[in-house]
Structure 1
Amino acid sequence: MKRIQLGNTVFEGENDVYLLDGETTALVDTGVALPDVREELAAGLAEHGVGFADVDAVALTHWHPDHAGLAGEIQAESGADVYVHEADASLVDGTETPLFLDRDLQRETFDRWGMPDSDRNRLTAFFDAVSTNLSGRPAEVTTFGDGDVIDAGGVTLEAVHLPGHTAGLTGFAFDPRTVPDHEPVAGADASEELFAGDALLPRYTPNVGGADVRVDGPLAAYAESLARIVARDFDAAHPGHRERIDEPSLRAATILDHHRHRTRRVLDVLEGAGPATAWEVSAALFGDLSEIHVLHGPGEAFAHLDHLADAGVVETDGTAYRLIEPEPNVDALFPTTALDDAVDGSEG
């Protein structure tokens, strides 16, 4: 297994593409469909004697352009099978329009969040500046569901559905002993590792709420995904950005604890300011935002407010949220894991 790291100035940065080149050749994710990134990926593959035309399969963790953007182009050159979870398939095969290109969906979403016109205009201008061909050429896809198995590069990948960041985000569990040129984690039993996509990142927390506005109950979905990662106790996780995670269960438990803390901060905002919109809560949590974060900030605030509304802690008139249960048991709003006592509580 080889990791090819690509530049990414639009989203979270430092995308990881994984090359599996056993009896067949496969990629896990592809990078965004920008010319310089395409050249980076082509050069990275060439270092291992592989070109786009040699790829037999592409396994996508989710639909976001920085992970799936080049899938259609690779498929056009090689005839590769492109695999994606059924909930994200329409955004890879081109039958559904993503938020950054759908003005009606933008209007509906920004109305719900209470986003001011000036900030809508800033975000729309950002979308217009970066969205040209961002998603790349549509691909013909083969869909899978949770628990399905894919043969990629001679490695058996088990689909582990981990929704929240997107509706169809899926990790791929595999036995590292079956992967050519792969170095397992030192001291681990080396029984199971995970291609995690953006479900688990090493340096910051994946956005929920803004990253895919199609997800119902995004924070609840993501919390359950994190609990599932803890329960599986993978030896290592290979994320969609940056470096390998050698203690994925602890990282997942830490991110889950971060969301408990953030929920408490949201409650403090509502208690101090009275009824507030997702945009107003975002401003209190994150301050001024720019570029893609103008989407992610209120989306994150909305995910927490939506979670509290579902629990009956707040009520909403459709835009503003009012606190009706002033001292809820926040811990009870999230799944518990075996590692809850091991996290240091520093995530806020």
Structure 2
Amino acid sequence: MEFTRIRLNNTVFEGQNNAYVIHGEVPTLIDTGVAMPEVRADLVEGLADAGLELPDLERILLTHWHADHSGLAGELAAESGATVFAHEADVPLVAGDDDAFAALWDRRDRRFGEWGIPPDKQAELESFRTEFAGATGESVAVEPLTDGDQVAAGDGELSVLRLPGHAAGLVAYETVAADGSPADPAEAFVGDAILPQYTPNVGGADLRVDRPLERYVDSLDRLAARDLDRAWPGHRDPIDDPAGRAAEIRTHHVERTRRVIEALREGGPADTWTVSARLFGDLEGIHILHGPGEASAHLDHLERHGIVDRDGTEYRLVDADPDVPSLFPNTKY
């Protein structure tokens, strides 16, 4: 499958976004970048370098609903006539459905109270969100995808592999051979399922995800089992050993779980915000959401396994020296 990576200089969130254009009979764009003029300019320039213009696009495939991956989908679809696809779990948010966002903000407000985020930090986060509210872009009609679907792209097809955790509807698009088997080389466009230089946020990035750490580790195992030769992530450079990188991130979460236990053992019972401060220190901007979200994901995992219990908003250790790796059994696919 012939494709071109387009590098987008997004500085709103984590930066260095990637979009990918698949060449062939069905010109297809994977992810769009955030809805900002300078990012759009990067994308248009990248398409031109690949010999394409916006009207040439027939399909836009989104890895997940976050604005730095889907923000430009609405205006690109309006100008090109391209059909937009996303996993069914993320369709309402990508589409800009008011009720879906209202439910998300309600859930966020409840979680902030449960986590114990101080009012001044909540106000700081709200200011950040308001400043970049336009980054989500225009509403758009979206066609739903489910795990295992195959969708035409370029001169071939891509297989949809759902990998929830960072987002409820996060998917990878895996290259397939003409007979439906994995292509040779086996590659996938993985969004934020795995990243080369840092670990995708779990717990704060999508408040809709139940058991976020468990589901994310399961997704890492599922991705590793695909035995890919290369992964093309949503940020930064390609990953030449996807299974190895998935294993590294898995180990990172085992170690972070140990750090959460240590934070409670040394500092005593605490709410999520306090545990987050013990792990990460002072937080600013979007990390006011991501820090306690990450702490919450690990505390939730520990509570489900009986290592901590919760009294109101406060967590305390029940087992101060658990076998942490046993809390992360390998998932078989």
Category of TM-score, reference length = shorter chain: over 0.9
> Deviation digits for residues 46-88 of structure 1, max 9, x if unmatched?
1122122111001110000000111111111122111100111
In the alignment, which residue of structure 1 is the partner of 2:142? 141
Distance in 1 between residues matched to 2:151 and 2:60, nearest whole Å: 10
Structure 2 contact 175–186 (Cα < 8 Å) conserved: yes
Distance in 2 between residues matched to 1:240 and 1:22, nearest whole Å: 22
Q: Would you say 1:4 and 2:6 are equivalent positions?
A: yes
1:215 to 199, 209, 217: 209
Letter in 1 for 2:184: A
Structure 2 contact 27–57 (Cα < 8 Å) conserved: yes
- CA gap of 1:99–1:291, structure 2 versus 1, over 3 A, is farther
Q: Would you say 1:124 and 2:155 are equivalent positions?
A: no
Structure 2 contact 104–208 (Cα < 8 Å) conserved: no
Structure 1 contact 231–337 (Cα < 8 Å) conserved: no
Distance in 2 between residues matched to 1:100 and 1:212, nearest whole Å: 14
Aligned to 2:95, the other structure's residue is in SS state coil
- CA gap of 1:158–1:73, structure 2 versus 1, over 3 A, is same
In the alignment, which residue of structure 1 is the partner of 2:152? 151
Distance in 2 between residues matched to 1:96 and 1:303, nearest whole Å: 27
TM-score by length of 1: 0.90
Structure 1 contact 15–240 (Cα < 8 Å) conserved: yes
In the alignment, which residue of structure 2 is the partner of 1:344? none
In the alignment, which residue of structure 2 is the partner of 1:343? none
In the alignment, which residue of structure 2 is the partner of 1:24? 26
In the alignment, which residue of structure 1 is the partner of 2:74? 72
Deviation at 1:147, TM superposition (A): 0.7
Distance in 2 between residues matched to 1:293 and 1:112, nearest whole Å: 17
- CA gap of 1:251–1:176, structure 2 versus 1, over 3 A, is farther
> Deviation digits for residues 11-64 of structure 1, max 9, x if unmatched?
111100000011121001011111111111111111122122111001110000
> Deviation digits for residues 171-222 of structure 1, max 9, x if unmatched?
01104899xxxxxxxxxx9341111100010000000001000100000000
- CA gap of 1:112–1:316, structure 2 versus 1, over 3 A, is same
In the alignment, which residue of structure 2 is the partner of 1:174? 175
Letter in 2 for 1:198: D
Distance in 2 between residues matched to 1:176 and 1:15, nearest whole Å: 27
Distance in 2 between residues matched to 1:282 and 1:265, nearest whole Å: 11
Q: Would you say 1:304 and 2:306 are equivalent positions?
A: no
Distance in 2 between residues matched to 1:174 and 1:216, nearest whole Å: 29
Q: Would you say 1:336 and 2:327 are equivalent positions?
A: no
In the alignment, which residue of structure 2 is the partner of 1:233? 227
Larger deviation, residues 262-271 vs 99-108: 99-108
Distance in 2 between residues matched to 1:106 and 1:124, nearest whole Å: 11
In the alignment, which residue of structure 2 is the partner of 1:53? 55
Aligned to 1:134, the other structure's residue is in SS state helix
Deviation at 1:112, TM superposition (A): 1.4
1:109 to 101, 111, 130: 111
Over the matched positions of the two proteins, sequence identity in percent amounts to: 50
Letter in 1 for 2:234: G
Structure 1 contact 176–193 (Cα < 8 Å) conserved: no
2:91 to 89, 94, 105: 89
Q: What CA RMSD, in Å, does the superposition of the two structures yield over aligned residues?
A: 2.0
Aligned to 1:296, the other structure's residue is in SS state helix
Structure 2 contact 218–331 (Cα < 8 Å) conserved: no
Distance in 2 between residues matched to 1:140 and 1:208, nearest whole Å: 28
Q: Would you say 1:246 and 2:240 are equivalent positions?
A: yes
Letter in 1 for 2:95: D
> Deviation digits for residues 238-297 of structure 1, max 9, x if unmatched?
000000000000000000000000000000011112211111111011111111111111
Distance in 2 between residues matched to 1:3 and 1:318, nearest whole Å: 48
Deviation at 1:100, TM superposition (A): 10
Letter in 2 for 1:311: H
Q: Would you say 1:33 and 2:35 are equivalent positions?
A: yes
Aligned to 1:244, the other structure's residue is in SS state coil
Deviating beyond 4 angstroms after TM superposition, the runs of 4 or more aligned structure 1 residues are: 96-103
In the alignment, which residue of structure 2 is the partner of 1:186? none
In the alignment, which residue of structure 1 is the partner of 2:15? 13
- CA gap of 1:176–1:261, structure 2 versus 1, over 3 A, is farther
Structure 2 contact 32–68 (Cα < 8 Å) conserved: yes
- CA gap of 1:327–1:96, structure 2 versus 1, over 3 A, is farther
1:271 to 260, 265, 270: 265
Larger deviation, residues 207-216 vs 312-321: 312-321
Aligned to 2:168, the other structure's residue is in SS state coil
- CA gap of 1:330–1:148, structure 2 versus 1, over 3 A, is same
Structure 2 contact 104–207 (Cα < 8 Å) conserved: no
Letter in 1 for 2:257: T
Distance in 2 between residues matched to 1:194 and 1:155, nearest whole Å: 13
Distance in 1 between residues matched to 2:100 and 2:200, nearest whole Å: 18
Structure 2 contact 26–152 (Cα < 8 Å) conserved: no
TM-score by length of 2: 0.94
Aligned to 1:38, the other structure's residue is in SS state helix
- CA gap of 1:316–1:96, structure 2 versus 1, over 3 A, is farther
**Structure 2 unmatched runs, 5+:** none
Distance in 1 between residues matched to 2:12 and 2:111, nearest whole Å: 21
**Structure 1 unmatched runs, 5+:** 179-188, 339-348
Larger deviation, residues 105-114 vs 296-305: 105-114
Deviation at 1:101, TM superposition (A): 10
